[in-house]
Structure 1
């Protein structure tokens, strides 16, 4: 399988970070609009992060950004470790410390890369 080009990987990463960085109310509205579960936000980040590792290898991401991305990955993975479903509710987006930490880090990465964390939320196509 051919590796997607860097611009595609970068766009995917920015879109996933945009979702993570959004206020909880915006995240809930986006989830409702597309009829997807809360974990979709984390799954999108996981997919983008795995693809972004090639950007790291190519030197396109700074060490500080890479460290923040890895920390987001650890936080989101840790939310799944204990089998607790609580972090994956829509209410948890505004109350859970893990979501708050991931949001803060995502905002920092977006500011570092784009100068601003608030971006339009991505549009997706859901295949059922």
Structure 2
């Protein structure tokens, strides 16, 4: 675990519904709140022991209300839709940042397979 990059700066951008994290390996990522919400590490989203994962629908306008530190290894994100379980550890956040395009495309494919159409967010339609 000592090779895991650690955040040096975490900034919540509520107006743009984004979280920006800079890591000590020089990498920096911007995560849309929707992306973090649909990839929440909580049991509600991922399931218990790999069973019962639940596809998250209609989270395009979700925002982050608060970020709480958890020791020296993770953060807990509180969303405005009431979701606040699951700990985002540094390794998971770094992986989400590095593979964001891949994971996002996987999510969109799962939505298609489920017969669900993602509606653009208010920010996407206004911009």
Greater RCO (Cα-Cα under 8 Å, separation 6 or more): 1
Per residue, is there more helix in 1 or in 2? 1
Considering the TM-score relative to the shorter chain, is it more than 0.5?
no
TM-score by length of 2: 0.31
Choose between structure 1 and 2: higher strand proportion. 2
TM-score norm. by structure 1 comes to 0.31
